[in-house]
Structure 1
Amino acid sequence: MMKVKDFYFDLPEELIAQEPLNERDKSRLMIIDRKSGEITHSIFRDIIDYLEAGDCLVLNNSRVIPARLFGVKDDTGARAEFVLLKRIDKDRWETLVKPGKKVKIGSSFTFGNGELRCKIIGNTDFGGRIVEFEYEGIFENVLDVLGEMPLPPYIKSKLEDKERYQTVYSKVQGSAAAPTAGLHFTEELLERIKQKGVKIAFVTLHVGLGTFRPVKVENISEHKMHEEFYNLDEENAKIINETKKSGKRIIAVGTTSCRTLETIADEDGLVKPMSGWTDIFIYPGYRFKILDGLITNFHLPESTLIMLVSAFAGKDLIMNAYETAVKERYRFFSFGDAMFIK
């Protein structure tokens, strides 16, 4: 039985990156060779040296919505924070709320100067609330004015430029958190990668609660992931399959791209255009169907993300890599440094 505490490492708080670097591609890059176990150090913009013509980089083009809203309870004036997680239909959402005790079914809240209102109409199975919104005009426009970027709780600094919590290729609105491995790419770097003959394919996975929800069970096999919406279209499925058939590598940029690919791929490592909801939980013992390489950030101790990375590279190698990262003063989490596991 694999336990949560098997994935613990000691992380000094000062290594948690509080803001992004001035230049996206100047972050550090740790290279991990799964076969030899060798660990080397580089700079992210030199990722191009580790990619070969014919390889395919798979990027998650989901865009973070300003999903954090602060409301006032109509009858008492109590304040509450809502994070939009999953759209049920046009005006109803699954949300995470704080403090949950004050937000009961039947209560109503007002946001801003009344441009947006909501009524609590149900509870979710993860302790959140289902809310129904009322507003004039287009919801996304109202959200742009009233919503804030839902930065993770370990980032205490205010983000000056909202775009730094978006990838340069973000396109499809819907995430409650950024697919952060992609934050290191610039348009120039992607252009140079394409010129080298590396293919680029896009998937969409709207990052929700599943990605950063803590594992609260001792035995990790009992953990249940929250569902997240994914989509792969025909054009990008074709690029991925052509790469696989030619014997070149499929390299996921981020755990969200990895989970999407592994949800869709068949036993031969081929994909079909499809969309749906995934709650795939990848931890050691999982047999990968399609993935040949992974670009990812450094994750929280005991998180589902460090478990996924350990499944891909081997737990001992990853825990050793994390110890090395702490020793070498790498920056951790969303605005931190990256690793490439090949």
Structure 2
Amino acid sequence: MKYLVTGAAGFIGSATVEKLNLAGHDVVGIDNINDYYDVKLKHARLQRIVHPQFRFIEMDIADRDTVEQLFENEQFDRVIHLAAQAGVRYSIENPYAYSESNLVGHLNILEGCRQSKVKHLVYASSSSVYGLNGKVPFATSDGVDHPVSLYAATKKANELMSHSYSHLYNIPTTGLRFFTVYGSWGRPDMAPFIFTKKILDGETIDINNNGDMWRDFTHVDDIIEGVVRIADVLPERSEDWTVESGSPASSSAPYAVYNIGHGSPINLMDFVKAIENELGIEAKKNFREMQPGDVYQTYADTKDLYQATGYQPKVSVKEGVAEFVSWYKEFYSK
């Protein structure tokens, strides 16, 4: 089968390419290699996933003509769309980057899928869409109309845009709400990376909300297992579904949304302690108030994804932190 993976030089994207290649699929990967974080890390990921059945094209998904030509030339069976401008706090500093990549870019991918009749589009949403929702665990049946960052708002918009294309053009689309992914080759703007680097460098780490925060930390190996499994589960039309009685995560159109996370949140201080234990160094800590755009707790209800795919996360926080710290030390000792 022939896949397009967008964001192929990214953290989750590169791991997804590797997983698909190991399963025998042909993969075309695209990425614009922007400088939101260190491009050397992005190039290193691409070097790691060199494979006879993988081709990489440097491309910006916001470039309508180029994306249109790509779909016309390649005729993909399935698309895993992971490219996006990430980061909650950066969306406060640079909002226009999010409209280009996350809105225009997503529309271009939808149009490509429509024009070339792609059999299934799987795309990245985010746990950030739950915003002010205080009910836990977060379920896809919950309302998500009150985001607390522009990043989250664009991800909710992606779900709405995808539904409209599923409804109008019968394109099967599946959104995945990722919950705090970490692991080797991870993003430098994420807490596990920041904490590890600063602790090793003897710098002070910032602890938001005075440490009273909970995150559903999910190892990348578990995430990509879920991503690849759901790509084989095409949502179908449900003629009996209604807005009044149905879940917002399904539809009369071939549309679905799932949470993908560990399903067992951990206190931020416990996660910091796991890193300290693995490094053998106690962190210097600066406790501060909640930051703009942050949420107090993320906690995924993953029952629907399990029922659809049998997906069940396996990597514990202790194992995951050990794996990440080992990679970090090796990669940055070069």
TM-score range, shorter chain: under 0.3
Using the size of structure 2 for normalisation, the TM-score is 0.27
Which has the higher relative contact order, 1 or 2, with Cα contacts under 8 A spaced 6 or more apart? 1
Structure with the higher fraction of residues in strand conformation: 1
